[in-house]
Amino acid sequence: MKMHLVALAGLAIGVALAAVAQEQNAVNQQARQEIEGLILKGDDAYNQNNPAAVAAQFTYDAIEVFGWQSRVDAASGQPAISERYAFQLPSPGELSNKLIQLYAIGNEICAVTEFQHVVLGRKGYSVRIYVREGDNWKIRMAYAN
Amino acid sequence: MKVCLLLIIAALITSLVMPAIAQEQSAVDPEVRRQIEASIMKADEGFNKSDAAACTAVYTQDAVEVLAWETAGGAATGQQAIEKRAAAMLASNPAKLVRTLIQVYPIGDAICAISEFEHTFGKKGYCVTIYVRELDEWKVRTVHWR
């Protein structure tokens, strides 16, 4: 009987430790689904040559930084981001982002994605800071490499 | 009796392996983590001595820094602009800064580091930093303070 209790306690500790390891900076399931939905929507907008829809995912004062060139290429503000995508989108190719990590940072969320651009033939990563604006999550800052 | 022993062993393995798996998804070489921590400490020491040049020496020449609490986006682009802003801030409001690294994640050949910070004037928040390798050290390419 005692052995059973010890075994149960051990199992409980195992499950609890696993949960604690995951809970630090954990993002609730609903927020996760919302961010996943936005990532999908952003990829669709990009793949449908819609720069306004891509830029609509950003806050008005957002910064987007491309880090794959020898020098950082930053677009500051939603209009500049929209303009950049308008310039790039005539032959966008297929872009798909896969969410690989979410961290809660206070009221905001840091999302790390891995992306694949079929036409450019490259893989990369993006780090996005999502903030709450009204009922929506918007990107306040994004870095892609 | 044997079943109990097996259960205990299974429970112990679960308790050891599960947290390890949870952490491994975001694994960074411990040496890299130490280097990032050292870079943070170096920058914070510079800040705490009100030495703008020292606290921004860890930035790349083309770095982008965002202070999310500032108006109009709060972005400064380029190491010189970031240093100038830090100098103005430290001259008008010298403060101490403490940062604790809470998460490090590899993104290709760069590193995404999330830390928690506290200023002595009461501001607390998070900073998300992208580090890139320049020669033999990690430098800040983008940082977002909130």
In a domain, B21, yes or no: no
What is the CATH number that goes with domain A27-144? Answer: 3.10.450.50
Residue B3 lies inside a defined structural domain of this protein: no
Give the Cβ contact number of residue B105 at 10 Å.
Answer: 20
pLDDT tens for chain B, residues 1 to 146:
666 666 666 665 655 555 554 454 558 899 999 999 999 999 999 999 999 999 999 999 999 999 988 877 899 999 999 999 999 999 988 889 999 999 999 999 999 999 999 988 788 999 999 999 998 999 999 999 99
- Contact flag B11-A7 (C-beta cutoff 8 Å): yes
Examine residue B12 and state whether it is found in any structural domain, yes or no.
no
Report the sign of the C-alpha dihedral through residues B107, A31, A135, A99, in that order.
positive
- Residue B51 falls within a domain, yes or no? yes
- Are A98 and A64 contacting, i.e. CB atoms less than 8 angstroms apart? no
H/E stretch holding A59? strand A58-66
A52 by Cβ neighbours in 10 Å (0-12 / 13-18 / 19+) ranks as: exposed
Residues B128 and A110 sit within 8 Å (Cβ to Cβ): yes
C-beta neighbour count of A109 within 10 angstroms: 22
Summarised one tens digit per residue, pLDDT across range A10-40 is: 666 655 555 555 555 688 999 999 999 999 9
* C-alpha dihedral sign at B86, B88, B91, B94: negative
**What are A54-64's pLDDT values in tens digits?**
999 999 999 99
Residue B19 covered by a domain: no
B139 within some domain = yes
- Determine the average pLDDT of the residues in A80-92: 82
A80 chain-B contacts, CB cut-off 8 A: none
Nearest residue on chain B to A112, alpha-carbon basis: B107
Cβ contact (<8 Å) for A141 and B144? Answer: yes
On chain B, the residues whose CB falls within 8 A of the CB of A65 are 64, 141-142
User: Which region among A81-85, A101-105, B18-22, B89-93 has the lowest average model confidence (pLDDT)?
Assistant: B18-22
Write out the two tokens for A5.
């209790």
The bridge status of strand A58-66 relative to strand A73-76 is: antiparallel
Q: Any idea what the Cα angle at residue B114 is, between residues B33 and A79, rounded to 5°?
A: 130
Distance from CA of A8 to the nearest CA of B (A): 8
- Domain range for B33 is 28-145
pLDDT classification of A94: cutoffs 50, 70, 90: confident
Residues of chain A above pLDDT 90, percent: 63
pLDDT at B58: 96
Minimal CA separation from B51 to chain A, in Å = 25
Contact A58, A78 (CB under 8 A): yes
- The C-alpha atoms of residue B8 and residue A9 are separated, in whole angstroms, by 9
Q: Are A39 and A54 in contact (CB under 8 A)?
A: no
* Nearest chain B CA: its distance from A110 CA (Å): 8
Starting at the earlier edge strand, list the strands of the sheet with A58-66. A73-76, A58-66, A136-144, A122-133, A108-117, A95-105
Domain count, chain B: 1
Mean of the pLDDT values across residues A128-139? 96
Here the CATH number for the domain that contains residue B51 is 3.10.450.50
B25 to chain A, closest Cα gap in Å = 9
Residue at B64 is within a domain = yes
In chain B, which among 8-47 make CB contacts under 8 A with chain A?
8, 10-15, 18-19, 22-23, 25-26
User: What global pTM score does this model have?
Assistant: 0.83
CA dist list (Å): B136 to B35, B47, B114, B139, B140: 10, 23, 22, 10, 13
Within the 74-113 window of chain B, which residues sit less than 8 Å (CB to CB) from chain A? Answer: 74-75, 77, 102-103, 105, 107-110, 112
Name which of A51, A134, A111, A78 is nearest B105 in CA terms: A111
